[in-house]
Chains A and B, each alone.
Chain A
Amino acid sequence: MMTKRRFLSTIAAFCMVVSFVFAGCDFNEAQDVFEEFDVIIALEEVNSFVAITIIDAQSQAFVSQDVTMSFRGDAAGSVIDMFSDPVSELVISGGLGSFGIQNSLVPSTSNPVELRVVVTADGYDPGSVTIRMEGTGQTTVRAWLRRHATVLQGAVSTTDTGGAAGAGGVVTQAVTAQTADNTQNQASASVTVAVGTTAQTSTGQPATGTLTTTVNLYTAITATTAQALPGGYTASVQTSTGAVEQTAITTAGFMSVSITDATGNEITQFNPPIRLSMEIGRDTHNRRTGAIVQAGDSFEVYSYNETDGVWVFERETTLTGPDADGNFEAAFLTDHLSDWFVGAAGNTCDSGVFTVNRTGNNGSIIVSVGSDIDGWFPGVFVLPAGDNTLTIKNAPNNLGQYFLSFNHSGVPVQFINGNAEANGSICGATGAVTLDAPPPDLITVTFTFDFEGDGNPDASNGTCAALRVTNVPAFTIFVKESGQVDADARWVGSDPVFTSDNLQRINGGSLVVSGLEVGKTYVFYSTINNEREERSISITGPSMLFDMSGDVQSADICSQ
């Protein structure tokens, strides 16, 4: 009897222990977690990407038409879209776009990634921009496009219909078209097609009927016209050996010539060659001689291959003159038409280190660099927040003068050493730049991304938990003050501004922008999948919301 009781007690005690242990197992929690599990599909992160703005050279606004970007050069095959798919071309809308480089390419100073982007848009002459990436992260570039049917402010143009072609494309009435003198330095450009010349299209179709000739001359002494140079001033150049290299160029002036026949065909091939000429301003600096130009100076002549975005070395030309205005003529013969520049390419150097004393200008700063008398306008680039040193790389050697200007929030703050420019070569040049203190009401604003709103299909979740991607490759944000031209928009952020939940789904983020003035309205541009979004925000304080619902909708990165 006693044994049986002890036996039953032992079993009961053990069962109690087992029950107690099992009671600690949270089956409901386990069930909830495993029911919650789902598949997360994320776009792969892109380590190196390019943000590109396409600017109308006339209006300085973003090109509103769709722009097709075609990629050329060694790294062209590594260009990817936001989905990491290789692409040979991309269409961007709104003049602001981006693309990535495959992660297998890791740009560095010792192993830079180089490519060029040929940009075309309806109503514009083709343009291009040469890109050199020396590190991962974002590279920002701009390309200016010239409207085809509009004379760019600062340029001179003429259209002549005096020429004609007969049977076999043989010119029966000569073409002689010369622009008026420009107002900057009284320079002009001309084209002459002699009677008897055979004129054809690029496919060999003979010209016929009236020949309409248009000549444009863009001086290189002002940035506004100089920016219209296809490819920019750090360009891809095909040298006399046939090799294509990225290098700096200086232009004593450039011109574009187009001839169409009675059927509207572009006539580009001529036999024998036709004569082009452009006048070189009397104050132009000749890098070869290190002095102001004079008769007998030699300059290089390049034509633009718009298909590949490459300036092709054609020949050397010798200046003649001066004329009554003191300018010199650079004339040359050619059997084809294109854009042409007279100047020099190659022979580059780096500057020394310029030290920037920010004086409270803590945000990113737009830096412009160039040389008026040498015809060198490489454009603008951004000195990132926190960076106080500046080195100009791959600049042309033997410049006669250069300038650096610093633009913060649209307001030029100061020039180097208090002057707009410095004489002499930029090679090895150093200096200290002290920026003016920003206005006292300039503040740094932290914007918190708000994914809620009508555009977000999952707004009820509050944090857009429906986002099925963990990052948005090549996402980029620019800002400009309302009323400024689009070309003044500065880059202020990219993909890393997003934050993710514990499953790495984007659920928010923030953007810190310095140099914003309380009470003023700023326009923010962002691009996802090459669709430009914009919103105007009036600055009210250091902490604000940034509506992302429209971006999310347009990018289609929420679950539907």
Chain B
Amino acid sequence: MRRTPLISLFVVSLLLTAQVQAQAISFRVGTLGPGIDLSYPLNESLNLRAGGTYFALSETSTFTDSDVDVEFDFDIKWGGATVMLDFHPFGGSFRVSGGLFYSLIEISGVGTPTESYFLNEGASNEKEFLPERLGMLSFTAEYEQSISPYLGIGFGNATRGSRVAFLFDLGVVYTGSPTLDMTGTKMLAPTANWDTRLNEGLESFKILPVIALGLAVRLK
């Protein structure tokens, strides 16, 4: 696992809120990853919030198949930038949040066979294809819709009340269906045609659930 590049996201958030003189900074961790927000009160019940989340992960996993096992090296990039309005309808910590989410989510992988493929294995005319002869597979999954609307509820007001506030968010991002692109080389090339079928399986997954916990610190 790599260290998350929170510093870069922080810079993004800082730029977004620089014009509005942020009055609070908050730290969240949730289904969009760890992140930082800067908040500015627009009036007594409305805060402007900008920030971002991000984490990256590299992982290796073996896909077991009846023909050949394929070892995939995954790269997961998860998170995005947000611009939100937090509306506190009752003046307390409860809020309704809405805004835009700029997705940086991308899962990619490269797979190579870990073993030979034997045609007619065990027979007199057995034919072995070495892993390097078989080729490789690669895929990328991401949301084609890079900017998506967010709607959620939450607790905690970063700009009012106590100097330190606990935050809770529950919401959804309407991302549209993720898109999976596969490519293959050499003898594995036709495997890439699975992406059409796999995308059919992902078709109904058009929202991304958001659950996050955080801590806000008022700066002024």
Q: Give the interface of A toward B (CB within 8 A).
A: 3, 6-7, 10-11, 14, 17-18, 21-22, 24-26, 29-34, 36-44, 83, 468, 470, 502-505, 556-557, 559-560
Closest Cβ of chain B to A371, distance in Å, is 45
B220 adjacent to chain A (CB < 8 Å)? no
Across the interface, which residues of A come within 8 angstroms of B153, CB to CB?
10-11, 14
Contact B209 A503 (CB under 8 A): no
A24 CA / B205 CA spacing, docked (Å): 8
Contact B90 A3 (CB under 8 A): yes
Which single member of A17, A29, A41, A503 contacts B188 (CB below 8 Å)?
A41
Across the interface, which residues of A come within 8 angstroms of B123, CB to CB?
556, 560
Contact B67 A33 (CB under 8 A): no
Closest Cβ of chain B to A55, distance in Å, is 26
A24 CA / B197 CA spacing, docked (Å): 19
Closest Cβ of chain A to B74, distance in Å, is 15
Across the interface, which residues of B come within 8 angstroms of A3, CB to CB?
90
Which chain B residue has the least Cβ–Cβ distance from A558? B120
Across the interface, which residues of B come within 8 angstroms of A22, CB to CB?
207, 209
B84 adjacent to chain A (CB < 8 Å)? no
Across the interface, which residues of A come within 8 angstroms of B196, CB to CB?
502
- Interface core residue of A22, A24, A40 (most chain B CB under 10 Å): A40
Contact A503 B197 (CB under 8 A): yes
Across the interface, which residues of A come within 8 angstroms of B15, CB to CB?
none
**Also in contact, A39 and B201, with CB within 8 A (given A503-B193, A504-B193):** no
Closest Cβ of chain B to A525, distance in Å, is 20
Known: A503-B194, A559-B66. 13 other contacts (CB 8 A): A10-B96, A14-B152, A22-B207, A25-B205, A25-B207, A34-B201, A37-B198, A40-B188, A40-B191, A41-B134, A41-B191, A42-B188, A42-B190
Interface size on B, residues (CB 8 A): 47
Which single member of A6, A40, A83, A557 contacts B190 (CB below 8 Å)?
A40
B102 adjacent to chain A (CB < 8 Å)? no
Closest Cβ of chain A to B137, distance in Å, is 8
Closest Cβ of chain B to A429, distance in Å, is 48
Which single member of B96, B121, B189 contacts A42 (CB below 8 Å)?
B189
Contact B190 A503 (CB under 8 A): yes
Q: Give the interface of B toward A (CB within 8 A).
A: 63, 65-68, 70, 89-90, 94, 96, 113, 117, 119-121, 123, 125, 127, 129, 134, 137, 151-153, 170-172, 186-191, 193-194, 196-198, 200-207, 209
Contact A556 B190 (CB under 8 A): no
A65 CA / B134 CA spacing, docked (Å): 34
A542 CA / B102 CA spacing, docked (Å): 60
Which single member of A29, A37, A468 contacts B67 (CB below 8 Å)?
A468
Which chain A residue has the least Cβ–Cβ distance from B205? A25
Which chain A residue has the least Cβ–Cβ distance from B122? A560
Contact B209 A18 (CB under 8 A): yes
Which single member of B125, B191, B203 contacts A39 (CB below 8 Å)?
B191
List 6 interface pairs A-B (beta carbons < 8 Å), by A numbering. Answer: A10-B96, A21-B172, A40-B191, A41-B187, A41-B191, A557-B119
Contact A26 B204 (CB under 8 A): yes
Across the interface, which residues of A come within 8 angstroms of B186, CB to CB?
44
Contact B121 A33 (CB under 8 A): no
Closest Cβ of chain A to B92, distance in Å, is 9
- Interface core residue of A10, A42, A43, A503 (most chain B CB under 10 Å): A42
**Also in contact, A30 and B90, with CB within 8 A (given A22-B207, A38-B65, A503-B190):** no
Contact A39 B205 (CB under 8 A): no
Across the interface, which residues of A come within 8 angstroms of B68, CB to CB?
39, 41
Contact A556 B119 (CB under 8 A): yes
**Also in contact, A39 and B70, with CB within 8 A (given A22-B207, A44-B187, A503-B190):** yes
Across the interface, which residues of A come within 8 angstroms of B187, CB to CB?
41-44
- Which 9 residue pairs across A and B have the least CB separation, nearest first? A33-B201, A556-B120, A26-B204, A30-B201, A39-B65, A40-B190, A504-B190, A42-B190, A40-B191
Across the interface, which residues of A come within 8 angstroms of B94, CB to CB?
7, 10
Across the interface, which residues of B come within 8 angstroms of A37, CB to CB?
194, 197-198
A468 CA / B120 CA spacing, docked (Å): 11
Contact A24 B67 (CB under 8 A): no
Across the interface, which residues of B come within 8 angstroms of A10, CB to CB?
89, 94, 96, 153
A124 CA / B68 CA spacing, docked (Å): 44
Closest Cβ of chain A to B186, distance in Å, is 7
**Also in contact, A32 and B121, with CB within 8 A (given A11-B153, A39-B188, A41-B187):** no
**Also in contact, A33 and B198, with CB within 8 A (given A3-B90, A41-B117):** yes
A458 CA / B113 CA spacing, docked (Å): 25
Across the interface, which residues of B come within 8 angstroms of A504, CB to CB?
190, 193
Which chain B residue has the least Cβ–Cβ distance from A39? B65
Which single member of A18, A33, A39, A470 contacts B200 (CB below 8 Å)?
A33
Across the interface, which residues of A come within 8 angstroms of B203, CB to CB?
26
A44 CA / B203 CA spacing, docked (Å): 31
